[in-house]
Structure 1
């Protein structure tokens, strides 16, 4: 049986080529995603593990939680006296004070802005950094940088670089370091200075960030950890260095979770669409090989053995596609990283990691998807009667209009429409998701009924427009006679286009809402932000200090962001200055006033309704620095205006200083002084901020546009990836039309014999391909727009978010679909045109 399967597969390898390509593309996407994330995770693990290679225990200020949304929380400085206290404790070999923070490197007047962090830390010689050249920093004017940065920017020993932190200072490079075996950390610049220099740059006074502890000889780390916890109390976090490194790595890796999930979901869509192609291929092959399979049955093969032979071919094909997809996936990981970089979601690079799990997933995906897609054809093959098959010579592919399929599809469609209606009415995402899934499943079930009818009517319209009645009529008839094949091909294209349309419409609607909400609520004419897009903001306090006293500036109001825990769920908040926020915004308060914020919290009207609370009630908020506090609700803000301020929770800057250690501003909203024009004020602000390369000064329009920059990048990434599904759908049309030629060889020979020219035959085949593409376009666009409209309503949650249909983008989608139809029919039409009449007529 195994040899038979191999011979059958090799005998039909030409017909399986496009199916193999579809499997390969789907597996490539899955493998590329897993390799990309595994490589990035390994980089994080190595980075944080190596950072504490010689350190046994790390002491830091205690916090309620370590990280939120992939960002480690900042901690208060430790009392420097704790170092000597710790060093004197039994079992402690050494206690080394450490200062850590952010320090941008500037060389030859140009800022070195990496994709990742700009690290500033005090020299210990124990944190994974090893000298490659020069000496450790000792003097107040000395710095050591990583060798990777030095090589990339032509910095050598003795050069002077500027380090920009809370203060700026010019330092002389006295050494170059590596990190483990590498020349530096991925996508990171590193500046190491003496302890006092780091304290001065970060304005810590004599405070320290942490204490690295090395256990005395003969002392177990676990025992010393417990002793230190008992001695130092709950105000100090005592953790083994490997636990600290693991927590830091987990925080960094958590940001990859969304990326991995999104990419795998898109890969799943590609595989589902590819499954239609596979199902079509095996259905047509079984039909064409009816006589061959009948001979096997007549020779004694059971139906189960015939079915096993077909599934065996599918297994071989799936394994071959998985192997090819794995190889291509290693290359695709690089392409995905480039797409993510373009979308603003940088992931670290490192040695490629191809895990055993990835290989198993690739094999399972390739084989399982292929087997499931081929199962229907295999089951039909098992039912072939030797006598009937030998007599009729063909099984036919005109089936698929069964009563059970029609009832099942109608029920699913009805359930889907009902769930979508309910979900749209109550603005429920789960209901909309379930409704969409049921609708799509119903359409798939009804595809052999709906798609041929759609192609027939479209063909009639096309015939009336073009005047080519005979070729178009024969193309319509060809599609109608193979409803299952036509239905699967139309659905593959329709689903891929529906996804593209859905993403385009939802993206355009959210983009429009973000921009209009910002324009309406933010009245500040100038906005100062970090160009690096840090989650919690990247403006040093010195940024505000440089511009607040300018004659051209009237009001400067700060915004800061922070994370807090809400019954274990991480949420974000915005801190603002109640005294100045009214000068730069125009927000609608449902109850209370921004100026009365004080030590309370203002929440959105929707949050108040969901929680069943109002002004005068308390909201339990857990902060890393203070643990859980009962914060009074002092006001309710309009939902849409809150979006302009980025979160559903607003607190004062005074409260922020009490609850958070972070001191970075996220945004400065600037209003020019009376009598000063906006261009004059903006020019003055830009001049004052010269030398701060990561600061971006924007007018209101540019700031509103910037609000959607990250969204635009994500949408571009998703759309680019979704075009892979369109490519697979195109392969499906090509494959279907090509296999239909094999199936209809005698028919094509007969129409040529009665006078059809080669040109007319080619036109007929191309028209059939085009009709399938138009049907897929119309169905996909309809489903995409209808579902996106409901999802936009749910996203709005009663707010001011209106459906926006990007006509230019959808026109481009339509053009792509029509181009797909034209291109998909070229190769099959050329092959059909080459058929010899007598040879074709003799085909059975």
Structure 2
């Protein structure tokens, strides 16, 4: 039986290749995702670990937590003299202070704005320096700088060039060296400028303070003991951590910025595997149907049902193993492509060689074999159960009973009702969506003929070829349903993302337009959540005679129990003049007393009201209880980007960061808006990252992230559509083998090669159209339910993007036609007499 299994697997190379490709594409998603995230994690760990390899301990200001949402918190500087106190502790061999902060590089008159941080750091001597010289020398005087090698290479910076570094103050510096960070050529996704310690302190406005101190323990001294002595000497306001722990925390924060990418890619990989599973099951089902007589002969010759089952599953195992091997190979290429896509979507990815771990190969093998075997199990069981005499009589497979169809139909209807109405939690919606897909899989063979005849009516206009295509599609309900549903799932996911993304963008646009009444908004070109505008921007703009009022916003992170949340800091005196906020109760002016305003839904969910206190944990000041002084309408809170609003005075008490996120500007009465814009732009000339935007531009900046994620997921979901289109090609090719005699007879009675090609192509288009109808309807239903469920906590309006969905319909239909070209060509080339002679 094993020899027979091997012979069957290789006897039909075209069928084998198509099935292998379907599984391999699904495995490619999984392995590409694992390789990409494993590589990023390894490179980040190596870079930060190498950077801290020669320091035993790091002294910093203590904070309640180290990072939030993938961003390391900013700490207060260490006072002058701290390094001397550290060196005086027994067991300390050396201690080197350093300064670090934000510093924007400008070269050749153009600002270098990376996707990640723009760092300004002090150069420290060996062995404490995280950077290693690749060319030139270290900075010796205050007007010299070392630039990371990656930035220098990308922007043509050479030794001897002059660059500008803009921090709290701006300096014009001469490049004297190029350096790498750890094992890489630069900071992942960012830039680095390294200057002398006095220059860094001056440009970062640290005075005589420093950011941290790297400590080397004397030979023979116990690191733990030295750490305890340092803690006793410096007190609880200081944090003494192992340098490798600090490096690991920095790497973890960097990995946190790409963590959601892994979740998204694995979800898409699951979708691709599901679609591939439909194709595999359909392929094996058709193949078993074509081999019914062959299997019957085997049964008559003495083969047991178990042996037949084992033969079919053995073929599935061979396909799974081969596809897994191909998927791992393709996954390496996919990881490189995904890295490029992520970079274009604004997700910084470290450079370096790709890491293929044994675990990745094992996961690919297990998933590939498991998916293939599970998909082939039902056809294999049907083959094993058919008695030899029944098989030789060519008895059609039994369909579902009326009771089973009725029960399944009710389940699908109930699940769809839950999905469309958005009832319950997102977990319940996900479960209902799965029930819907499973139910449609069961009902597919019953629904496919009805839908095919209905949707295929326009094909009658194409004459005999169109009518025959419609009849052939309806005559094979099981095959048609499985092929269409595979493509429908891919289209449903794309339609779902389109509905959710468009709804989110439209809601942001609507709430922002209703709440923000400012004429212009000054923001960072990088759209940083935590800011990016130096305080001087607000002062310059507010001092212009063309400006009536300039109100600034800041953002910060805080711990809500074990979760991280964001808040908005505002100036309650000027904000009402540039916004139309609606407080349900309380007063915005009361923020000056140190309170907090909550979004209405937060107060409702937590049973809070004005006068209660909200427990909050800040990185700098630890656990605090802020009095609730007002409740804000949810839509207005959404326009301010968070559900928690504090005053700028309160912000200064709990945060070290001194950057603004936005400055809302109202033009003075009688001043032309275009003239005011030119004046504001002139005032911002010294701040390259600051951009002036009108309402439409500001909304576009806030929705750019949604567009990037929507574009990334749509591009990746197209892989699932490609897998499903392979299913159309595969099943049509197999059906031609099954219908060889029928095709020969059609040619014998006068059908031309062109008419035959049109008939096969029309079948492909009809299957694609069937998939489009099901997919778009499911996508709209799933998207509507998700937006409705989310709107209970976040104001969202369901928007169906008709234009984008129409484009999806057109592309999928044309792709279906393309999928039928190869089978149509093969059918047209069949020899008429040979085809008629087939049995």
With the shorter chain as reference, the TM-score category is over 0.9
CA distance in 1, matches of 2:353, 2:522: 38
Residue-by-residue CA offset, 1:636-689 (whole Å, 9 max, x unaligned): 011011111000000001000001111111111111223222211111111111
Instruction: Tell me the distance in 2 between the aligned counterparts of 1:425 and 1:363.
Output: 39
Q: 2:476 aligned with 1:482, yes or no?
A: yes
Q: Deviations over 1:338-357 (max 9, x none)?
A: 22222222322221111112
Match of 1:39 in 2: 39
2:408 corresponds in structure 1 to 409
For 1:424, the equivalent position in structure 2 comes to 422
- Which of 517, 520, 544 is the equivalent residue of 1:523? 517
SS in 1 for 2:554: strand
Q: Which residue of 1 aligns with 2:458?
A: 462
**Corresponding residue for residue 114 of structure 1:** 114
Task: Give the superposed CA RMSD.
Answer: 1.9
SS of aligned partner of 1:348: coil
The aligned residue for residue 7 of structure 1 is 7
State the partner residue of 1:335. Answer: 337
Gaps of 5+ in 2: none
The change in CA–CA distance for 1:364 and 1:405 in structure 2 (over 3 A counts) is farther
User: Partners in 2 of 1:546 and 1:199 — Cα distance?
Assistant: 24
Matches within 5 A, 1:682-761: 682-761=677-756
1:81 aligns with 2:77: no
Counterpart position of 1:267: 269
Residues 728-763 of structure 1 deviation map (CA, whole Å, 9 limit, x = unaligned): 221111111111111122222233334444333333
Change (3 A) 1:127 1:395: farther
CA shift for structure 1 position 420: 2.9
Structure 1 residues 370 and 463: CA distance shift in structure 2, 3 A? same
Q: Can you list the C-alpha shifts for 1:130-170, whole angstroms capped at 9, x where unaligned?
A: 23333322322222222333333333333322111111011
- Give deviations 1:81-113, integer Å, cap 9, x for gaps: 221111111111112111111112222222222
How far 1:546 moved relative to its partner?
A: 2.5
Residues 89 and 830 of structure 1: CA distance in aligned 2, closer, same or farther (over 3 Å)? same
SS in 1 for 2:151: helix
Q: Per-residue displacement from partner, 1:207-254 (whole Å, max 9, x unpaired)?
A: 111111100111122222233223333211111101111111111111
2:590 maps to: 596
Deviates more, 1:814-823 or 1:66-75: 814-823
Give how far 1:371 is off.
Answer: 1.1
Per-residue deviation, 1:828:
1.6
2:256 alignment counterpart: 254
The equivalent of 2:205 in structure 1 is 203
For residues 283 and 659 of structure 1, the distance between their equivalents in structure 2, rounded to whole angstroms, comes to 65
Q: Does 1:365 align with 2:394?
A: no
5 Å-filtered alignment, 1:155-304, equals 155-304=157-306
Structure-1 separation of matches of 2:72 and 2:557: 10
Task: Give 1:822's aligned residue.
Answer: 817
The answer to whether 1:629 aligns with 2:647 is: no
Instruction: Name the residue aligned to 1:612.
Output: 607
Q: Is the 8 A contact 1:411 1:442 kept in 2?
A: no
Separation in 1, partners of 2:489, 2:831: 37
Report Cα offsets for 1:758-799 as digits up to 9, x if no partner: 333333322222221221111112222222222222222276
8 A contact 1:600–1:631 mirrored in 2: yes
Q: Is the 8 A contact 1:399 1:483 kept in 2?
A: no
Confirm whether residue 442 of structure 1 aligns to residue 433 of structure 2. no
Matched, 1:788 2:786: no
| Structure 1 residue 509 displacement after superposition | 1.4
Distance 1:118 1:652 in 2: 28
Matched, 1:680 2:695: no
User: Aligned to 1:166, what secondary structure does the other structure show?
Assistant: coil
Partners of 2:702 and 2:157 lie apart in 1 by: 36
Count of matched residue pairs:
836
Alpha-carbon distance, 1:123 to partner: 1.5
TM-score, normalization by structure 2: 0.96
DSSP 3-state at the match of 1:590:
strand
Verify the 8 A CA contact 1:409 1:445 in the aligned structure 2.
yes
SS of the equivalent of 1:693 reads coil
Larger mean CA deviation between 682-691 and 195-204 belongs to 682-691
Closer/same/farther in 2, CA of residues 536 and 764 from structure 1, 3 Å limit: same
SS in 2 for 1:565: strand
Q: CA deviation at 1:571?
A: 0.6
Deviations 1:797-823 (A, max 9, x none): 276532222121111111112212322
1:295 and 1:526, CA in 2 relative to 1: closer, same or farther beyond 3 A?
Answer: same
Structure 2 distance, partners of 1:417, 1:635, is 40
- Do 1:409 and 1:444's aligned partners in 2 also have CA atoms closer than 8 Å? no
Structure 2 CA distance for aligned equivalents of residues 438 and 523 of structure 1: 46
Q: Report deviation, 1:180.
A: 4.0
Q: Distance in 2 between matches of 1:407 and 1:100?
A: 68
Task: Give 1:403 deviation, angstroms.
Answer: 5.0
The secondary structure found in structure 1 opposite 2:94 is: strand
